[in-house]
Amino acid sequence: MQDANSGNLDNLEGFKELITPNFLDAIERLTSAATDLNTVFGQNRQRISEMQRAISESEPVVLKLGGTIDDAGKALAEISEGTRRNVLATSEDVSKLFAASKILNTEISTLVENFNNVGVQFSAVGDQLEKSISYIQSIGMNTSQIMRTVTNNMEKLNEFNFAGGVEGLTKMAAQSTFFRFNMSDTFNVMEKALSPEGAIELSSAFQRMGIAAGDLTDPFQLMYKSLNDPEGLQKSLSQMTKQFSYFDEKTKTFKISPEGMLQMRELSKQTGISYESLSKSSLAAANLDGVMRQMKPGFKFESEEDKQLLANVARMTKEGKYQIEMKGGQKIDIDQASPELLKQFLDEQKSAPKTLEEMQRNSLGITETIAGDVSAIRAKIEGTVTAPSLTEFNEMVRDFITSSTDLVEKEVPKGGARDELENVIQQSKKIYDSLAKGDTAGAAKTIQELEGRFEKLSEQGGEKMAKLVEKLKDNFGEVKSKYDIFREKSGTSTMKSKPKETTKVSLEQTVNSNLNVKVDAGNANTKQIEQFLNTREFKEAVFNVIKNMDSNSLATLRKALKLQ
């Protein structure tokens, strides 16, 4: 069968497989994932039930963001590693951090650790990143590249006072990228200017050069900006460099003048700022100035970020004209664009998703979005296997199987008796099967069968075998007692099987009713998705799945879909 994520929207069999719950598989999957997480925590198994619930609650949100079923447990483990604490994050925290890791192409543990080192708890990382990424998008720059610079310099938040914390550092990193100014050079200047002697030495160097350096020639302003306004200091340094460049009309390129080259070399010696930073910044600042000069007079930018946004998205033609492209594909020279048109263009550029989840979902394809949403519904339904009474009983069965296997391994040599005992132990796994299907009576029947086999083994074996069987019976007695408690809690006191309840659905009536599906999939082709979801074939596949569900599963589905 073709994979449901392969891009074929007509793959209804693949859809049916995606949405059909498999409770036995869910129990095994969640138990395995919780065991792996417990290994990271380095604890005994007293929190296994709690871990299973945390994983099952995180699975749907991760699937909706393009992750796999295994990513939920991995995300929880990485959050714990990043904080160095045995903490179980909520599904909301996992959702934010998983989306951020995908957008920034980095490990969740790295994000959490970097933020934790500067006093930001993992539960606040998502909100901090949303503000930072929103700012980067507002100036039309590369999110991944700038956020890598931010995460690599997080420790600077403990050394200097950035307005807005992480957001302030992000603005500085974005500005550094925009003006091609090396942030390490700015930090070196800031470090030096924190002392009165250093500030005086630097300001004197700018004065001796006789260049337009603004407030950089004032030692008190230099000290203040170094401690409280790193972004403003870097901006002053960048703006200072534009005087060394010019636009060559012949080659239609920006160049550094011969005098500028000499001045920047001397400036580098006097201040310790690398010539590379000064030269690159000079060309970038000249480019921004060139965009502003070609605009019609009278247009007022709402913010400094809008200027950077325009400079970032405008392209220069071979004639030396700056040009913008509207969403419809129309190309307009900036010197011909009216203020109204420029405002419309800037508004179009700034209409981006605001949350991390929206940003990540916006990057998914159509079939990835559909498959993720459908798989999330299935994961929500399967999450019912983490009900406390059921997980506690599962742990008891697991402990019985493990301890009994150890007993047989130590006490019984290989041979027929040992094989018979191991068969008894392996048959205990049938209890899992019955409970996964909601068949409590079937579980009870298996327990009774096992008790009978213990009696036969006691009669057939010698004295040593009889003692071993008694130990196994004692172990199994705890399982049976736990089962009785589970049965009482779940309200299934009868030992007799109940006929499977089915939900009657009039397929013809439902398909012909006014059932319409509306889709919100970001920038994806929603019309194409809606046409597919509203086909008769798709509806039949859905209802064929639903009509075969028992009443408990259907109630869970309705709750997951918020229909009750």
Report the pLDDT value the prediction gives residue 191, as an integer from 0 to 100: 92
Report the pLDDT value the prediction gives residue 190, as an integer from 0 to 100: 92
Report the pLDDT value the prediction gives residue 295, as an integer from 0 to 100: 85
Q: Describe the crossing of helices 23-41 and 388-411 by its angle, rounded to 10 degrees.
A: 70
Query: What 3-state DSSP class applies to 87?
Result: coil
Report the pLDDT value the prediction gives residue 138, as an integer from 0 to 100: 84
Tokens at 39, concatenated: 């290994």
Report the pLDDT value the prediction gives residue 504, as an integer from 0 to 100: 41
Which DSSP string do the residues of 188-239 spell out, in sequence order? HHHHHHTSHHHHHHHHHHHHHHT---GGGG-HHHHHHHHHH-HHHHHHHHHH
Q: Under a CB-based contact definition with an 8 Å cutoff, are residues 19 and 538 in contact?
A: no
Report the pLDDT value the prediction gives residue 358, as an integer from 0 to 100: 87
Closest by Cα among 52, 121, 47 to 83: 121
**Distance between CA 277 and CA 181 in Å, rounded?**
5
Q: Under a CB-based contact definition with an 8 Å cutoff, are residues 56 and 383 in contact?
A: yes
Which DSSP string do the residues of 135-167 spell out, in sequence order? HHHHTT--HHHHHHHHHHTGGGGGTS--TTTHH
Report the pLDDT value the prediction gives residue 79, as an integer from 0 to 100: 92
Q: Whole-model pTM?
A: 0.65
Beta-carbon contacts of 422 under 8 Å, excluding residues fewer than 6 positions away, are 405, 408
**pLDDT tens track of the chain, all 564 residues?**
334 343 444 455 555 555 566 666 776 777 777 778 878 877 666 677 778 788 888 888 999 999 988 898 899 999 988 988 888 888 899 999 999 999 888 899 999 999 998 888 988 988 888 889 888 888 888 888 898 889 889 999 998 988 888 999 999 999 999 888 889 999 999 999 999 999 999 998 888 888 878 888 899 999 999 989 998 899 888 888 989 999 988 888 899 999 999 999 998 988 888 999 999 999 998 888 888 888 887 788 888 888 888 888 888 888 888 888 888 788 888 888 888 888 888 888 877 677 888 888 888 887 788 778 877 877 877 766 555 555 555 656 666 666 566 555 555 555 555 566 566 666 666 666 665 565 667 767 776 776 666 666 656 555 555 665 566 566 566 666 655 655 555 454 433 434 444 434 343 444 444 445 454 544 445 565 556 566 666 666 666 655 555 565 556 555 555 544
Query: What 3-state DSSP class applies to 85?
Result: coil
Q: Under a CB-based contact definition with an 8 Å cutoff, are residues 272 and 188 in contact?
A: yes
Report the pLDDT value the prediction gives residue 507, as an integer from 0 to 100: 38
Report the pLDDT value the prediction gives residue 292, as an integer from 0 to 100: 87
